[in-house]
Amino acid sequence: MKAYAGIGAREINAGLQIEFVKIGRRLAKAGLTLRSGGAQGADLSFEWGADDGSGVKEIFLPWKGFNHNKSTLILPEPIPTNIVSIARSIYPHWDHVTEPVRRLHARNVMQILGWDLNDPSAFVVCYTERPYNDPNAVGGTLFGIKLAEANDIPVYNFFVRGDRERFYKMLDILQNEGIDTSDIPELTEEQFKQMKRNA
């Protein structure tokens, strides 16, 4: 079963939250596994969609109970040296930040490369407004983008002009390859509010 990373900013507008819920649900129905990190905003939107679509999900947490998430995929302690090596190569401030910040970035490695680091996500769909060309601007989502690009994994950042259209064209390609990514019934605002209340 293919896996994809659904990640992004913690603060996104309601319209984008709903769109990411719909994408999570649509890809779950298509049989794709969601990889995400349990944070507020984009992460939870994808996760709610995966749950609503009765899909498989791999939610990688920096520590047990992060953001009240019940996932058991928790970054080991101490952080494995192979993950440290990868994270340090992407995040320029690794040696100058606290352990919790390191653990947040380290768990991002598994979102992109899988639990054992040998099963890369097929693609990344996300949202971040952080500038790609600023070496000091490396939030969690941009970390994931840079790691994905280093491993030739397609990235669809809905903040970037044209990426949303490229993403939906990719779904059409998957459809032609026999993966049913056909659209599903619309998600109403009231249904979305109910998801948030039940979370």
With 0.85 as the threshold, say if the pTM is over it: yes
How far is it, in rounded angstroms, from Cα 115 to Cα 60? 8
Would you say residue 58 lies in a domain? Answer: yes
Sign (positive or negative) of CA dihedral 77, 80, 83, 84 = positive
Which residues lie across from 155 on neighbouring strands?
124
Which residues lie across from 6 on neighbouring strands?
125
Instruction: Identify the band that residue 194 occupies on the pLDDT scale cut at 50, 70 and 90.
Output: confident
Instruction: Identify the band that residue 187 occupies on the pLDDT scale cut at 50, 70 and 90.
Output: low
**Average confidence (pLDDT) over 22-40:** 96
The amino acid occupying position 15 is G
Enumerate long-range contacts of 26-30, CB under 8 Å, 24 or more apart: 26/53, 26/171, 26/181, 26/183, 26/184, 27/53, 27/55, 27/181, 28/52, 28/53, 28/54, 28/55, 28/56, 29/53, 29/55, 29/180, 29/184, 30/174, 30/179, 30/180, 30/181
**Mean pLDDT, the chain, integer:** 91
Would you say residue 156 lies in a domain? Answer: yes
The range of the structural domain enclosing residue 54 comes to 3-182
Would you say residue 189 lies in a domain? Answer: no
CB 11 within 8 A of CB 41: yes
In this predicted model, what pLDDT tens digit does every residue of 113-145 receive, in sequence order?
999 999 999 999 999 998 766 666 668 999 999
Residue 137 is predicted with a pLDDT of 62
Residue 159 is predicted with a pLDDT of 95
In this predicted model, what pLDDT tens digit does every residue of 50-100 receive, in sequence order?
999 999 999 999 999 999 999 999 999 999 999 999 999 999 899 999 999
- Cis peptide bond upstream of 80, omega within 30: no
Work out how many domains the chain is built from and give that number. Answer: 1
Would you say residue 95 lies in a domain? Answer: yes
Q: Which two tokens stand for residue 72?
A: 């058991």
Which residues lie across from 66 on neighbouring strands?
none
Q: Cβ contacts of residue 73 below 8 Å, gap of 6+?
A: 58, 59, 60, 61, 110, 115
